[in-house]
Amino acid sequence: MIKIRRLIRSFKYAFTGLGKVFWEEQNFRIDLIITVIILFLAQYFQVKVWELIILILIIAVVLILEIINSIFERLIDLLKPRIHQYVKDIKDMTAAVVFIGALASILIGILIFLPYIINNFLK
């Protein structure tokens, strides 16, 4: 049976975590601004449903990667001093993961929006 109080509490914890990431991670806020722009463009160009699904999925992936990157940074700071080379390497590698996800999302966005831009503005 579903325990409503436990469910509400889990949502509260999730929103608290989102708030923490939002207020403490600049890149997450930038990603959210880009999300709003992308969703506005999707509405403006009236993209197909399957294209919107892909956009939403890739946005979610980038936001999730950003949160995971923040988690790793905090965990590593607990285990080793910031000046240790391994700490720097791990932080650089997790940042690279987010960067690759962001690049992939940019390419996907270009592939989805370019035909709409060409049809609306270049014809």
DSSP, residue by residue, 59-87: HHHHHHHHHHHHHHHHHHHHHS-TTSHHH
Residue in the block written with tokens 């992308």: 38
DSSP 20-59: HHHHH-HHHHHHHHHHHHHHHHHHHHT--HHHHHHHHHHH
Single-letter amino acid, residue 50: W
Domains of the chain, residue spans = 4-121
pLDDT tier at 61, thresholds 50, 70, 90:
very high
Q: Does an H or E element contain 84, and which?
A: none
Per-residue pLDDT tens digits for 66-91: 999 999 989 988 877 667 788 888 88
pLDDT (0 to 100) of residue 3: 87
Residue 25 has pLDDT above 90, yes or no: yes
Question: Residues 28, 67: contact at Cβ < 8 Å?
Answer: yes
C-alpha closest to that of 66 among 15, 27, 14 = 27
CATH 1.10.10.10 fits 4-121, yes or no: no
Measured distance CA(65)–CA(21) in Å, rounded: 12
C-alpha closest to that of 46 among 102, 107, 115 = 115
- Global pTM? 0.88
Residue 2 has pLDDT above 90, yes or no: no
Residue 123 has pLDDT above 70, yes or no: no
